[in-house]
Structure 1
Amino acid sequence: MTEFSKVPDPTRRLYQLIADKVRTLIQQGDYKEGSRLPPERDLAQQLGVSRPSLREALIALEIEGSVEIRMGSGVYVCSRALRRSAAPSPMGESPAELMQARAALEGAVIVLACVNATPQGLARIAESVEAMRADIVAGRDVLEHDREFHVRIAEMSGNSVLLSLVGTLFDERRSPLASHMRNRLEGQPTWSAALAEHELILRCLQSRDPLAAESAIRSHIRAAADRWVTP
């Protein structure tokens, strides 16, 4: 797949370029107002892009009001798509690329955390796990304690630069694109799975096993991406 390999403007994200193409197809009459776009698999093949990248583009188009995504039915063209001429403003990093970056970074961070583990640091991470559990039971938003878990692991690495990077990457989940996807897809089953993965990561840290901890956190982030980005 080409994934629009020749990008004329390096400041524009891939999902923006794909959204531009879909909008052009709508405006030139390929898809009429109120009509349904082709199934995701077919449209991705037509455009020569991956389905996760197409899904991000469609979410961006929904945020701007050009299409409506109806769960279980399809993606439908809105009248605003026919009137819009300007390209949308950036809505954040690609969630798929974000999760790839997090897996690479946090896999390295947790190895340092194992080396520098302290009873106090481990206790703080365990507190985050329990707070997350309480949020799930109470039906509250779990994201803050999810963030806290990952940041506290980075704190235990003893590297302030890595700590800053972990927090910055995690906070991209609050961007318009990522938030829209999160609100659609996250729920109690999703968070219960994440909690079990956090518990495994904590056990690896408590055992001071850097290889197991690295494997566990990479697997967790890949699983989170599967639940959130590529359902």
Structure 2
Amino acid sequence: MTSIAERLTEVRMQIVEQCQQHKRLPDSVQLIAVSKSKPISAIVEAFNHGQRQFGENYVQEAVAKVQQLQELPIEWHFLGPIQSNKTRDIANHFHWVHSVDRLKIAQRLSAQRSDSQAALNLLIQVNIDDDAAKAGIAPAQLLDFAAQIAALPRVQLRGLMTIPAVTTDPSQTATSFAAMNRLFLQLKSQYPQVDTLSIGMSADWPIAIAQGATMIRIGSALFGAREHSPQSTGDSQ
């Protein structure tokens, strides 16, 4: 059986190859290891092989992991849908939140982030394909929403995230990611701190790199198929 360390090495090599193919620097793409539903031992194995950024979707599970691994210099990314009653835990335990699509949630994260912590990095989730099954704001709402978030204390607007519509047509995925890149560049032109485009998961990350991703979120390609979780309602990373 292939180990997590071996799969991590293989994915890193593939990222370098994709970046070279598209004339990008390999360090322009950050790998977020999506460890939802995976045990602490899997995270530690990946950490021992040099992985430092991990993504989680379920607050209760994630907080337990953060607390158990608090001695390790891990950068934690929250990727899942956000309920209002979970914002305090997210604000206190994470470095990044990829899934902000309501002002109320951004305001609560801002209010509940400790003054002693660095600003919480926020990504706006965009529903780029107007897919009823996906969360996120409409592209037309982006600039107004970004201005509201940028005005909040203790948080920092860093960019955009999307989960495209499920399709078997790679060209459709590429079209969706290209549209996200255009929005990203538009936002970046107005906010100098914006530097992050979180697109691409295990099934489509090479397309995402071709279309300008700066973060890719990979779970099953690193950790194997995800075990069933009673909280599992999201897309496969």
For the aligned pair, the TM-score class normalised by the smaller chain equals under 0.3
Higher helix share: 1
Higher strand share: 2
Q: How high is the TM-score relative to the length of structure 1? A: 0.28
Larger gyration radius, structure 1 or structure 2? 1
